[in-house]
Structure 1
């Protein structure tokens, strides 16, 4: 209800004397003939007067001061009732209202002030009923959206459309998982999430008015809701967001419980992966949002001890967000199988948390066991806050590790791809003889009863399988160390036969 509707209601016979300077809704209507009624008025209200007080006014300044007092408290319109105390509206009052841009209307003698108050009150009540019906209808549509196939995504979309705003749901890491907002408002929500307690904030920025509040309980936040739009939210609109927040919390709580429950399932599925039953695991994952990484993939291993729960939760959330990532507990470690396109995302998360980890690559699922062992060894050698790859470990320090108890395991894992090949054992035996002859082709070939070109071809094949450059001294030295560490007796046997 605003002044335009009041003037437009013909039965009241109200006449505008000035421009209608505002369309601000009228919050209530008061009547007073006091010289200064401002202590009894509030912003957004309309004042009606018969002008009895104007009898004591002697100058135009008196009218200006009177209008100024009304304007200072936020009165949206002044109505003058004629023919009660005096005929017509005072010209000085008209001029003062015009100069102050305060709307002035004239109320005829035949229209009692109570009729004006009742019309406005009825309009306010009707608007309240309309807003309530809108809120109930909108809440109903949001509930149906949640229960339908669209789920929370549909509910967010329906809420944003109904309220006419940008709206987004953020996860505990501050990443938008549903909807969208502009103007960097999600940064406000991230600050609230960082505090770790249930909180809310609002303000005004480049994108207009914004509001943000966290979801979930303090100490176990589930995310946050952020909304932006040009105008502030009304109470009915706030009620719609309150309902959306409640539904979102339920949805996020369910997702968190589902993610935690999946941990025990993941361990069983991992056993199947190790047994080579990859397709069985893919089928078992169909009802879940987790997907296995594509080949080739990486294996990341880090100790569970000292691992902050929120870091593990953060990595697991990557999986349920659609990233190809599989996380599980294995012995006393956390193991992450990750698509190489997203390895950097995981390692960055660990570095940000100042955690060390081991990493190894696998070209095929058949190499999972080897890669797991390699990553575990690298994890044991990794310093805090660093990600150590198995390749870095073996290429830089294999000779220095010969005295350590784990060196044989490292050597075996390094030669895993070679040992799996049909000709692997023969190639390693030939390599041992070749190295025993200081890499000289002729004497080694004679000892093996091979042509030297055939031996060269075999060593080239071994170089490709092992990833070692056997044209260099370093590559040959590492191979020699690996052969000795795996208990290969070819060197000793050769010495005994000569």
Structure 2
């Protein structure tokens, strides 16, 4: 659509700014002539209001109030082509327009409003024609991406290629990214500002939104973004149906494992297919009073987007076979109930007994309730304070295994990953305080910690990752080790 600045640039219209030049980027959706004293009652958001000034009040304070009401109606701009007997515009009116960044334009009385309106309307019609063409291309691109059988992220990247926007699906309550295209990933990696991003809710979901940020093009078409939201809603609906099917089949498998009619070895490939490629455990969730758990849709939760655990509700508990990710399992607890805790078994192997592992998990969750802890791992010895290696050589091996990739990266790339982790942990995960001490932008710290996770496999913001990194840093400090000497 045409902007106010673009209208001013049309020589034949003879428009000039009286005030509000900072609002020149406003888009004009339609144009209306109105000489009534209350034009805000007759126009809509985005309209260009054209007047001869006949409806303007005479005094400065009245004109200021009149302008406030017009701006509040969300119109795009005001064009005044004053007739000879119209009240003159006062400094009070212009001051309000400047303060609120609202364009007020002057034109000669001989300006034919129909010519100005035609320019606006032709632009709006052309904009709608282009939007329809773009929507058609988006559906074609998305259909082709679906047939290519790529990932959800691949399809988001295909949509980015058509719109030029960096696209992400986010959880509105937590800000967590469910899926993003490659343009959005590059923006995150370069700590690009988000002040120009636009979000729209995704239809059919309670908590998800589609976020578009400038990529190759600015985000200026909100209706088009809403169309994209509807398109992505179809994909999410399909994914939810697939997750429901996996939940049902996973329950059947877990029942078979618990009654020992199925062996772990038989379902091992299925567990890998469900995204459980690392260490796998039996987890048991419950509240101290064995109260109800909100588990009916937990398999759809954002935290489980990469995994489809086997889940079974039984006797006030939720039992599952899931990845041994303490942060993930704790996140699930928080969604199930405010007082929910989780107990975790020893790691499963293809020869394990799920019955025994489930017993371990149930004992562990009982222990968690006794200690008033949100999570407990079976076999933890809470009374043993010797959690650090006992010898210098053991410490050296542990530190090299844990921090070696970071130390090597810092030496060869002149980066500060080890220092960034140390400061982040010392501030108990406070992002802004850590960034301030390091003298960097908060988003730069986010990028560095993501790089730490890529190099070590440990997520500094998770319970397990922060614990391992803290142990390595503390062990090195207590053993007085020179980190640079641990790697070549």
Q: CA deviation at 1:260?
A: 2.0
CA contact (8 A) 2:32 2:117 kept: yes
Candidates 81, 84, 104, aligned match of 2:106: 104
Aligned twin of 1:494 = none
* Deviation sequence 1:262-319 (CA, Å, 0-9, x none): 32245557788975x73x5434556x3243654xx65446799967564486479799
CA RMSD of aligned residues (A): 5.6
Aligned twin of 1:224 = 208
Aligned twin of 1:187 = none
Distance 2:8 2:91 in 1: 20
Cα separation, partners in 2 of 1:360 and 1:274, compared to 1, 3 Å = farther
* Deviation sequence 1:303-338 (CA, Å, 0-9, x none): 999675644864797996456965568999865455
Cα separation, partners in 2 of 1:226 and 1:385, compared to 1, 3 Å = farther
Aligned twin of 1:47 = 50
Cα separation, partners in 2 of 1:172 and 1:131, compared to 1, 3 Å = same
Distance 1:41 1:389 in 2: 67
- 5+ residue gaps, structure 2, are 99-103, 186-192, 384-488
Matches within 5 A, 1:48-447: 48-49=51-52, 62=58, 68=64, 71-72=67-68, 73-74=70-71, 76-80=77-81, 102-106=104-108, 108=110, 112-159=112-159, 162=163, 164=165, 167-170=168-171, 176-179=177-180, 207=195, 211=199, 213=201, 224-225=208-209, 227=211, 234-268=222-256, 278=265, 280-285=266-271, 288-291=273-276, 294=279, 298-300=281-283, 308=292, 310-311=294-295, 314=298, 321-322=305-306, 336-337=320-321, 341-342=324-325, 345-346=328-329, 349=332, 353=337, 354=339, 360-361=345-346, 365-368=350-353, 371-372=356-357, 375=360, 378=363
Cα separation, partners in 2 of 1:117 and 1:262, compared to 1, 3 Å = same
SS class of match (1:361): coil
TM-score, normalised to structure 2's length?
Answer: 0.51
Cα separation, partners in 2 of 1:139 and 1:379, compared to 1, 3 Å = same
SS class of match (1:153): helix
Aligned twin of 1:25 = 27
SS class of match (2:238): helix
Cα separation, partners in 2 of 1:19 and 1:385, compared to 1, 3 Å = same
CA contact (8 A) 1:38 1:69 kept: no
Q: CA deviation at 1:104?
A: 0.6
Q: CA deviation at 1:124?
A: 2.0
- 5+ residue gaps, structure 1, are 183-204, 396-498
Q: CA deviation at 1:8?
A: 4.4
Q: CA deviation at 1:78?
A: 2.3
The one of the two structures with greater contact order (alpha-carbon pairs below 8 A, sep at least 6) is 2
CA contact (8 A) 1:14 1:105 kept: yes
Distance 1:65 1:381 in 2: 71
Q: CA deviation at 1:240?
A: 1.9
Cα separation, partners in 2 of 1:39 and 1:343, compared to 1, 3 Å = closer
CA contact (8 A) 1:173 1:314 kept: no
Distance 2:92 2:376 in 1: 80
**Aligned residues, how many?**
346
CA contact (8 A) 1:152 1:248 kept: no
* Deviation sequence 1:194-221 (CA, Å, 0-9, x none): xxxxxxxxxxx9856665757757xxx7
SS class of match (2:107): strand
TM-score, normalised to structure 1's length?
Answer: 0.50
Structure exhibiting the larger radius of gyration computed from Cα positions: 1
